[in-house]
């Protein structure tokens, strides 16, 4: 597609529920990043893929967070047993190569109630 597509756009989850957030990067983009953005803050890094390899997951806040990109294109961020502090906008970004700027999706706004 023309841009990075994220779904769903909005998600309301009850505390304890599992959620899965999807990112469709630009076709052919090698690098894919997930970020978490709390209200009024800048995005914070969660994890990074180069093709299907997860090269850095140091930003994942707990073992309830899991990300995958099995075929090197679409990526899914899964959050198990959601907590209220997980409420945030989750942003996905991709690029063909590094050092040239990234294309961000519109994000998924997760609200845990």
x/- letters, 3..22, toward other proteins (CB under 8 A): -x-x----------------
User: 67 forms bridges with which residues in the sheet?
Assistant: 77
| Closer residue to other proteins, CB minimum distance, 17 or 50 | 50
Which tokens in the block code for residue 85? Answer: 């502090």
Residue of the chain from 91, 94, 110, 112 that contacts other proteins (CB under 8 A): 91
Q: Does 25 bind other proteins (CB under 8 A)?
A: no
DSSP states along 52-96? TEEEE-TT--STTEEEE-TTSS-EEEEESS--GGG-EEEEEEEES
Q: Does 99 bind other proteins (CB under 8 A)?
A: yes
Whole-number Å distance between alpha carbons of 26 and 32: 10
Residue of the chain from 1, 28, 42, 70 that contacts other proteins (CB under 8 A): 42
Whole-number Å distance between alpha carbons of 58 and 48: 9
Cis peptide before 8 (omega within 30 of 0): yes
Residue range at the interface with other proteins (CB under 8 A); choices 12-20, 68-76, 77-85, 87-95: 87-95
Binding region for other proteins (CB under 8 A): 4, 6, 31, 33, 35, 40-45, 48, 50, 55-56, 59, 91, 93, 95, 97-107, 109
């Amino acid at each position: 597609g023309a841009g990075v597509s994220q779904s769903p756009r909005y998600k309301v989850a009850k505390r304890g529920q599992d959620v899965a957030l999807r990112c469709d990067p630009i076709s052919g983009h090698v690098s894919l990043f997930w970020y978490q953005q709390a209200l009024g803050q800048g995005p914070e890094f969660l994890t990074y893929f180069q093709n299907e390899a997860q090269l850095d997951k140091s930003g994942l806040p707990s073992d309830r967070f899991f990300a995958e990109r099995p075929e090197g294109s679409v990526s899914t961020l899964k959050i198990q047993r959601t907590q209220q502090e997980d409420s945030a906008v989750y942003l996905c970004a991709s690029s063909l190569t590094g050092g040239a700027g990234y294309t961000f999706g519109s994000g998924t706004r997760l609200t845990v109630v």
